[in-house]
Amino acid sequence: MTTDAMRGAVTIEEVAAAAGVSRSTVSRVVNGSTAVSPEALAAVNRAIADLNYVPNRAARSLASRQTHAIGLIVPEETTRFFGDPFFASVVSGINARLKRSDYVLNLFIASDDPGDKTTTYVRSGAVDGAIVVSHHTSDTYIDRIAAAVPVVYGGRPVRERDRDYYVDVDNAAGGRDATVYLIERGHRRIATITGPLTMPAGVDRLRGYREALAAWGIEEGAVEDGDFTAVGGAAAMRRILERGERPDAIFIASDLMARGALTVLASAGIRVPDDIAIIGFDDSPVATSVTPQLTTMRQPSFAQGERMAGILIDLLAGRHPRHVTILETELVIRDSV
């Protein structure tokens, strides 16, 4: 079944019947009105998601390509968005692809908003489609957006469905390759600092670490969540040192967290790589701005952004791209191992 057929067959009356409410109640929800009880709101949103309903204004916009706008939705804090080089690289890739089209990019940093304002704006027909980057298990409003316009996800969706389109890097392979490299260098007490385990990237990189240790018959080391931030990485590093059994190597699931960890190690008089070897993840500019420069897993963030934008443009043009695109990671060897 084509995307248009899947999305265009459902009427507002069918949504009302499925939700057990009136047509006018569905209309109020679609238009972002607050004059709806919480129970009715939940029932209508559930019916919209189950039936894959698109409001008429959004459907007309998609058919006519009137807005020529794409929404980039980032469910993160503003400081994290502007402070993490990963986002800059992804946005650069998206922009490079959009330059070769008639589309413009609208940015939504949906941090303090639980999704209501963003969802209402998207569902009003203000954009033709959306790219969603860095989503968490708590970001359930993304499902309402995906019910209104075509969506391409940056990374495996939290609740993956057969109809979803996403571009991801092979995070599990990256975590596995990084850990294997440490093992091959003779390290056996290997800890890890993870990203949030509410995010598929955090889960998958941890899985790769564990798979490598299991394959070599090595006991798992300390596992601490560093929240994909420098502050979080520093706090996780302190917790690892406080355990009293110092590792001889650490796989750290982002370069930003590795930067934070390096500051803690330097303050403690622990030398990298002489006392502890470190491998990061991203190969962002952070990797070459720290001392020692980071050995890290390169992820093609620019290519990911470019590919996501291309897939969304194909969907809006009625073409049928692949649902899942996986990009490879690559070990970049520098001075921290």
Asked if the structure places residue 335 within a domain, the reply is: no
Domain co-membership, 63 together with 40: yes
Beta bridge partners of 152: 131, 165
Q: How confident is the model at residue 59 (pLDDT cuts 50, 70, 90)?
A: low
42 and 115 housed in the same domain: yes
**Helices in 243-273 by DSSP H: which ranges?**
255-267
95 and 183 belong to one structural domain: no
Q: Does 38 lie in the same domain as 143?
A: yes
Higher-scoring residue by pLDDT: 26, 264: 264
In a domain, 59, yes or no: yes
Which parts of the chain are beta strand (E)? 69-74, 104-109, 129-133, 151-154, 165-169, 190-194, 223-225, 249-252, 277-282, 295-298, 324-327, 330-332
How many domains are there within the chain? 2
User: Is 40 in the same domain as 152?
Assistant: yes
In this predicted structure, the answer to whether residue 217 has a pLDDT above a threshold of 50 is: yes
19: which 2 tokens?
């939700």
Whether 177 and 262 map to the same domain: the answer is: yes
Encoded tokens for 202: 């955090």
Q: Is 332 helix (H, G, I), strand (E, B) or coil?
A: strand
- Integer Cα distance of 83 and 86 in angstroms: 9
Question: Is residue 206 assigned to a domain?
Answer: yes
Average pLDDT over residues 240-265: 96
pLDDT band at 4 (very low <50, low <70, confident <90, very high): very low
Q: Let me know if residue 139 belongs to a domain.
A: yes
Within-domain flag for 64: yes
> Is residue 131, in this structure, part of any structural domain at all?
yes
- Whether pLDDT at 119 is above 80: yes
Residue 334 in domain: no
φ, ψ of residue 167 in degrees (nearest 5): -120, 120
Residue 241 belongs to some domain of the structure: yes
| Residues 292 and 306 placed together within one structural domain of the fold | no
pLDDT at residue 9 in the model: 62
Q: Say yes or no to pLDDT of 96 above 50.
A: yes
Q: How far is CA 11 from CA 26, 49, 55, 124, 307, in A?
A: 11, 13, 8, 16, 33
Do residue 160 and residue 259 come from a single domain? no
Q: Which of 275, 284, 219 is nearest to 89 (CA)?
A: 284
Distance CA 17, CA 279 (A): 55
Same domain? 27 vs 131: yes
Grade residue 50 by pLDDT with cuts at 50, 70 and 90: confident
Question: Are both 182 and 104 inside the same structural domain?
Answer: no
Query: 60 or 312: whose pLDDT is higher?
Result: 312
Answer whether 236's CB lies under 8 Å from 257's CB.
Answer: yes
- Asked if 182 and 291 sit in the same domain, the reply is yes
Structural domain containing residue 48: 3-169+302-328
Structure confidence by residue, pLDDT tens digits, 138-191: 777 888 888 889 999 999 988 888 889 999 999 999 999 999 999 999 999 999
* Predicted TM-score of the model (pTM): 0.78
CATH number, residue 193? 3.40.50.2300
Let me know whether 263 and 278 are in one domain: yes
Confidence of residue 115 (pLDDT cuts 50, 70, 90): low
